[in-house]
């Protein structure tokens, strides 16, 4: 039968009917365990599977090994889905992949508790088979590693992130899925953190500040290899904390990170400056550090006895085990817990020496002497100590690097680098105005010929990194998008002035509108219940009422109030590739209309005197979100700003969420009553490294919510007539206005602006 050509094969169901149940043939003895209502679906899937794979095939054997447990754990539905998936792979000539998937099931079952989990896992497997077929083998091979850390639900987000990170490159996907590329491990750690450090950071910072009046800087630990045990670390006021501790999740993870941060807080408060390690041996350093840990905690506990409830449960070293590491952990425990008994002579000696020195703990030489002595004792006992593999115990304590000054050049710390990079970015950020100004002065003048400075990729520099929302895993991917500042292209400002002068009627009408709505005019409110003066008319009427024996209206005051428009506006232009499209056969492009509208709006806003900024964005993958600041808050809408607006060139993609976050950052510091981001876009969010357009829609939606959370209104003008659904999804129905005729934009925009800002 298997030699028949595909077209000649009989229908599986007919075949099944003729040869008895396919399920029975495939999985003898299991049919009875399938509920009657599920049998039909399973039978169909089994029949297809039987047709696809020979009775003695690897696939059938792998299935036979996995199916009983799967059926017991999750029921018939996931089993049918698994059969379908395997059959589908077989149909596409990927029988080997089908075997790998089937063989991964028993391992996956160790981590998946119910049918929902299993379905979620199968969906991810199908996703990988579809979007990253070359990596399916690597993915199946990491089943334990991934599910153990992430569970089925976390897996979807992680896989999505990996695929996006690879941006369509097969080789990079393979490197990531097989963890040859270290970024995969970094990403995994972030996804694995039930409680991401980013979420806890403000809380920890507040806590350390409250207890010791030192505001620490908290940073995630630099990613280490998969083998190194993760410990916290500190360097001055910078606390490095792991995104997650392996195998610790949920509330336990919160407690652990808190314990670690507070232990380092105790060091910040009580340990003083790092001391030269000089000629100390690694074992002596470990011992002196251990004593210093105990000292700092004792002093902290004297002030905050409650911290013991946090730290003490981590001290679990039993009074047994004779390796150097075990003895160090035992010593740490007896120093922390006065009630714990440990008969080992070394441990006893350490405890006694530490206690006796209580009055001279402040003298660093004392602990040094005790630690060196204890180190000699261990040496006498001929115990091996490997400083490379030694990890400070218990888990919450830091790696002690912050206590010492090592002369060695290799301090194996990526951390200081990271800091210096961030400092550099900040400096560049404040310097950006300077180069802009210079360029305008020599090139942006009205009379000079058009001088387009071609954007030089060398000259672009990263402004900052922004998170992106992953709707699948419901969490942010931190630092995911890089915002690049490309040098502004300049074109003569006369281009913009000409646009404005070509439509004098529009300029006039806009000015009239604005005059009516001008800010800050005093308004007289009459017939008020309270006020600073009498409203004569109302007072007279009340008096007449009184004289006539009627109850008077007591609202007889008038008051003056300022009709103030206290707002700032940031206009954000989408200048992606699609704005190059021309409109209905005319040579006019969407972009040129957009620019004209922006020019008119900017002129109107400048007249109204409202603080406003003008920016444009497009993107080229997540590493290059280009954000052009055409006019910043506080700058005038002058020749320079006009030259930047004239110099804009459309192209590339639309990573809207990142651009909105950047705009939010820009407008956030404005101390006005209302802050409004007005985005003008012609298309759905998209980017070259994103296969699922929904991802960017959801990310933009999240960015709008974040802005709302910061008290910033976001309003969208859509130029895409078909864009109703996704724009409403992103901004909310009432915050989107669709403009049917793009050419009407310059007319409509100033009016819309006034309506929004009343």
- Find, among 21, 33, 95, 22, the residue nearest to 62 by Cα: 95
Burial degree of 319 (CB within 10 A; 0-12, 13-18, 19+): middle
The region of 115-123, 312-320, 546-554, 711-719 touching other proteins under the rule CB under 8 A is 546-554
How far is the C-alpha of 587 from the C-alpha of 733, rounded, in Å? 32
Query: What minimum distance in Å lies between the beta carbon of 625 and other proteins?
Result: 28
Query: Residue 588 — φ and ψ, nearest 5°?
Result: -80, 130
The answer to the question of residue 210 lying near other proteins (CB under 8 A) is yes
The region of 8-16, 212-220, 236-244, 577-585 touching other proteins under the rule CB under 8 A is 212-220
The answer to whether the peptide bond before residue 394 is cis (omega within 30 degrees of 0) is yes
Q: Which is nearer to other proteins, 10 or 206 (CB)?
A: 206
The region of 22-30, 62-70, 209-217, 651-659 touching other proteins under the rule CB under 8 A is 209-217
3-state secondary structure 292-350: HHHHHHHHHHHHCCCHHHHHHHHCCCCCCCCCHHHHHHHHHHHHHCCCCCCCCHHHHHH
Q: Which is nearer to other proteins, 261 or 484 (CB)?
A: 261
The answer to the question of residue 546 lying near other proteins (CB under 8 A) is yes
Our CA angle for 377, 383, 385, nearest 5°, is 105
Measured CA to CA in angstroms, residue 331 lies from 290, 307, 322, 348, 352 at distances of 8, 20, 12, 8, 11
Q: Which of 17, 534, 544, 710 touches other proteins by CB under 8 A? A: 534
Q: What tokens were used for 436?
A: 């802009």
Query: What minimum distance in Å lies between the beta carbon of 534 and other proteins?
Result: 5
Q: Which is nearer to other proteins, 216 or 350 (CB)?
A: 216
Q: Which of 508, 515, 533, 721 touches other proteins by CB under 8 A? A: 533
CA dihedral 657, 662, 663, 669 (to 10 degrees): 140
Q: Kindly report the number of other CB atoms within 10 A of residue 26's CB atom.
A: 23
The answer to the question of residue 532 lying near other proteins (CB under 8 A) is yes
The region of 120-128, 318-326, 536-544, 631-639 touching other proteins under the rule CB under 8 A is 536-544
Q: Which is nearer to other proteins, 40 or 534 (CB)?
A: 534
Q: What tokens were used for 600?
A: 């008119």
Q: Which of 10, 35, 55, 202 touches other proteins by CB under 8 A? A: 202
Size of the site for other proteins (CB under 8 A): 34
Our CA angle for 407, 411, 417, nearest 5°, is 120
Q: What tokens were used for 241?
A: 């904390």
Query: What minimum distance in Å lies between the beta carbon of 556 and other proteins?
Result: 6
Burial degree of 190 (CB within 10 A; 0-12, 13-18, 19+): buried
The answer to the question of residue 756 lying near other proteins (CB under 8 A) is no
Q: Which of 212, 245, 637, 753 touches other proteins by CB under 8 A? A: 212
The answer to the question of residue 213 lying near other proteins (CB under 8 A) is yes
For other proteins, the binding residues in 338-357 under the rule CB under 8 A are none
Q: Which is nearer to other proteins, 259 or 572 (CB)?
A: 259
Q: Which is nearer to other proteins, 636 or 671 (CB)?
A: 671
Element (DSSP H or E) covering residue 750: helix 745-757
Measured CA to CA in angstroms, residue 726 lies from 68, 690, 708, 731 at distances of 45, 16, 18, 9
Q: Which is nearer to other proteins, 262 or 327 (CB)?
A: 262
The CA radius of gyration of the chain, in Å to the nearest whole number, is 34
The region of 5-13, 96-104, 306-314, 728-736 touching other proteins under the rule CB under 8 A is 306-314
Q: Which of 551, 585, 671, 740 touches other proteins by CB under 8 A? A: 671
The 253-292 site mask, x for binding other proteins (CB under 8 A), equals -----x---x------------------------------
Q: What tokens were used for 93?
A: 């000539």
436 within 8 A of 640, measured Cβ to Cβ: yes
The answer to the question of residue 307 lying near other proteins (CB under 8 A) is yes
The region of 144-152, 299-307, 389-397, 594-602 touching other proteins under the rule CB under 8 A is 299-307
The answer to the question of residue 57 lying near other proteins (CB under 8 A) is no
Looking at the DSSP bridge assignments, the partners of residue 464 are 483
Q: Which is nearer to other proteins, 124 or 670 (CB)?
A: 670
The answer to the question of residue 539 lying near other proteins (CB under 8 A) is yes
Query: What minimum distance in Å lies between the beta carbon of 524 and other proteins?
Result: 14
Query: What minimum distance in Å lies between the beta carbon of 601 and other proteins?
Result: 28
Q: Which of 25, 153, 205, 665 touches other proteins by CB under 8 A? A: 205
Question: How far from the centroid of its chain's Cα atoms is residue 513's Cα?
Answer: 43
Query: What minimum distance in Å lies between the beta carbon of 298 and other proteins?
Result: 15
The region of 155-163, 335-343, 529-537, 597-605 touching other proteins under the rule CB under 8 A is 529-537
Q: What tokens were used for 536?
A: 């004569």
How far is the C-alpha of 255 from the C-alpha of 309, rounded, in Å? 10
The region of 146-154, 242-250, 278-286, 538-546 touching other proteins under the rule CB under 8 A is 538-546
Query: What minimum distance in Å lies between the beta carbon of 355 and other proteins?
Result: 24
The answer to the question of residue 478 lying near other proteins (CB under 8 A) is no
Q: Which is nearer to other proteins, 136 or 670 (CB)?
A: 670
The answer to the question of residue 584 lying near other proteins (CB under 8 A) is no
How far is the C-alpha of 631 from the C-alpha of 612, rounded, in Å? 8
Query: What minimum distance in Å lies between the beta carbon of 557 and other proteins?
Result: 8
Beta strands in 428-496 (DSSP E): 461-470, 475-485
How far is the C-alpha of 484 from the C-alpha of 315, rounded, in Å? 47
Looking at the DSSP bridge assignments, the partners of residue 572 are 615, 679
Measured CA to CA in angstroms, residue 144 lies from 79, 112, 176 at distances of 20, 11, 16
Label the pairing between strands 233-235 and 275-276: unpaired
Query: What minimum distance in Å lies between the beta carbon of 602 and other proteins?
Result: 26
Looking at the DSSP bridge assignments, the partners of residue 528 are 557
The answer to the question of residue 304 lying near other proteins (CB under 8 A) is yes
For other proteins, the binding residues in 551-580 under the rule CB under 8 A are 552, 554, 556-557, 559
Q: Which is nearer to other proteins, 254 or 353 (CB)?
A: 254
For other proteins, the binding residues (CB under 8 A) are 202-207, 209-213, 215, 258, 262, 304-307, 309-310, 531-534, 539, 542-543, 546, 552, 554, 556-557, 559, 671
């Amino acid at each position: 039968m298997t030699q028949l050509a595909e077209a000649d094969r009989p229908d599986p169901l007919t075949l099944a009917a003729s040869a008895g149940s396919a399920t029975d043939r495939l999985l003898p003895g299991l049919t009875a365990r399938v509920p009657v209502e599920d049998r039909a679906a399973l039978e169909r899937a089994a029949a297809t599977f039987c047709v696809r794979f020979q009775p003695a095939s690897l696939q059938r054997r792998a299935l036979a090994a996995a199916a009983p447990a799967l059926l017991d754990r999750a029921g018939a539905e996931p089993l049918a889905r698994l059969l379908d998936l395997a059959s589908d792979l077989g149909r596409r000539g990927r029988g080997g992949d089908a075997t790998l998937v089937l063989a991964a099931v028993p391992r996956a079952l160790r981590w998946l508790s119910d049918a929902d989990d299993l379905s979620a896992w199968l969906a991810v497997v199908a996703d990988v088979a579809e979007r990253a077929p070359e990596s399916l083998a690597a993915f199946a091979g990491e089943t334990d590693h991934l599910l153990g850390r992430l569970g089925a639900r976390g897996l979807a987000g992680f896989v999505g992130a990996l695929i996006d990170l690879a941006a369509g490159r097969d080789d990079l996907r393979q490197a990531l899925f097989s963890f040859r590329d270290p970024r995969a491990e970094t990403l995994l750690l972030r996804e694995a953190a039930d409680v991401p450090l980013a979420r806890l950071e403000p809380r920890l910072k507040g806590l350390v500040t409250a207890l010791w009046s030192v505001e620490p800087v908290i940073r995630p630990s630099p990613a280490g290899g998969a083998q190194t045990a993760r410990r916290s670390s500190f360097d001055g006021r910078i606390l490095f904390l792991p995104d997650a501790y392996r195998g610790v999740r949920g509330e336990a993870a919160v407690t652990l990170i808190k314990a670690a941060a507070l232990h380092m807080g105790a060091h910040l408060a009580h340990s003083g400056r790092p001391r030269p390690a000089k000629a100390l041996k690694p074992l002596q350093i470990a011992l002196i550090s251990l004593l210093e840990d105990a000292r700092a905690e004792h002093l902290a506990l004297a002030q905050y006895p409650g911290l013991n409830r946090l730290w003490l449960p981590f001290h679990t070293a039993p009074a047994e085990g004779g390796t150097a590491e075990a003895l160090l952990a035992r010593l740490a425990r007896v120093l922390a817990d006065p009630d714990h008994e440990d008969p080992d002579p070394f441990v006893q000696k350490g405890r006694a020496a530490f206690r006796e020195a209580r009055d001279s703990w402040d003298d660093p030489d004392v602990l040094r002497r005790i630690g060196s002595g204890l180190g000699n004792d261990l040496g006498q006992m001929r115990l091996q100590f490997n400083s490379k593999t030694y990890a400070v115990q218990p888990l919450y304590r830091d790696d002690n690097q912050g206590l010492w000054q090592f002369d060695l050049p290799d301090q194996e710390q990526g951390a200081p680098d990271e800091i210096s990079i961030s400092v550099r970015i900040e400096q560049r950020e404040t310097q950006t105005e300077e180069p802009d100004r210079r360029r305008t002065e020599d090139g942006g003048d009205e009379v000079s010929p058009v001088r387009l400075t071609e954007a030089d990729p060398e000259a672009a520099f990263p402004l900052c990194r922004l998170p992106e929302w992953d709707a699948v895993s419901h969490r942010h991917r931190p630092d995911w998008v890089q915002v690049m500042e490309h040098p502004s292209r300049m074109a003569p400002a006369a281009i913009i002035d000409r646009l404005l002068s070509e439509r004098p009627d529009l300029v006039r009408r806009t000015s009239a509108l604005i005059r009516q709505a001008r800010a800050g005019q005093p308004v007289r409110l009459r017939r008020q219940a309270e006020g600073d003066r009498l409203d004569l008319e109302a007072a007279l009427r009340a008096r007449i009422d009184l004289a006539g024996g009627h109850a008077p209206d007591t609202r007889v005051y008038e008051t003056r109030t300022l009709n103030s428009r206290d707002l700032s506006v940031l206009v954000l232009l989408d200048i992606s590739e699609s704005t190059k499209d021309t409109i209905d056969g005319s040579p006019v492009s969407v972009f040129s209309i957009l620019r004209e509208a922006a020019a008119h709006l900017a002129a109107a806003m400048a007249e109204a005197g409202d603080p406003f900024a003008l920016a444009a964005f497009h993107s080229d993958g997540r590493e290059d979100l280009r954000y052009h600041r055409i006019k910043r808050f506080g700058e005038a809408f002058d020749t320079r700003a006009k030259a930047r607006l004239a110099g804009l060139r459309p192209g590339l993609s639309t990573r809207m969420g990142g651009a909105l976050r950047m705009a939010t950052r820009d407008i956030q510091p404005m101390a006005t009553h209302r802050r409004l981001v007005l985005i003008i876009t012609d298309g759905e969010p998209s980017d070259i490294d994103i296969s699922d357009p929904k991802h960017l829609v959801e990310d933009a939606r999240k960015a709008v919510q974040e802005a709302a959370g910061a008290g910033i209104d976001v309003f969208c003008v859509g130029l895409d007539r078909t864009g109703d659904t996704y724009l409403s999804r992103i901004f909310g129905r009432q915050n989107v206005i669709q403009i049917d005729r793009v050419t009407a934009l310059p007319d409509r925009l100033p009016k819309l602006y006034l309506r929004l800002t009343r």
